[in-house]
Amino acid sequence: MSEKEQLLSEYGEWIDRVKELADRDETLWSTPLAEGKWTVREVVCHIFRWDEYFFAEAIEKIARGEAPTSEHLNYDEFNENARDYAKASTTEDLVRQTIAAREQLIEAIRSMPEDVYDGDYTDKDGHPFKVAQFMKDFIWHDKHHLRQLEMIR
């Protein structure tokens, strides 16, 4: 298996976990990961909204031959907006949107020719952007939150 396929496989594990969570009791979705921490719903939405952002501002643009426009955001503000979105969404809608967003990213990356996938890009802030590194960073991010979710089984 190529590194690209390995990364795509690991990146897709989030979809399986969200499907498992979808089968759980609705009360789980309102359970905080720990005292004073986000709820399951908020964590899922947090990852979903980052997936949306990086698809629109980086991956989709790279796939079309354009430069990524992703940039450093105010993380606290971005995450607070994700929490608000989570509170306003039904679990069913959130699950559907989360899975669709990750599948969209995976399909866009999988269909990239190797030269596009391996290309060196520069984001809006002038920082280097590589598709493989993006996946590695977000696989780490997913695993960080998956470990938290495991604690509340």
User: What pLDDT, in 10s, does the model give residues 68-121?
Assistant: 999 999 989 999 999 999 999 999 999 999 999 999 999 999 999 999 999 999
* Distance (Å, whole) CA 92 – CA 87: 13
Q: In the predicted model, is pLDDT for residue 153 greater than 70?
A: no
Q: By the 8 A CB rule, do 61 and 67 touch?
A: yes
State the pLDDT confidence band at 8, using cuts at 50, 70 and 90.
very high
Q: By the 8 A CB rule, do 144 and 33 touch?
A: no
Whole-number mean pLDDT of the chain?
94
Q: Residue 92 has which token pair?
A: 């069913």
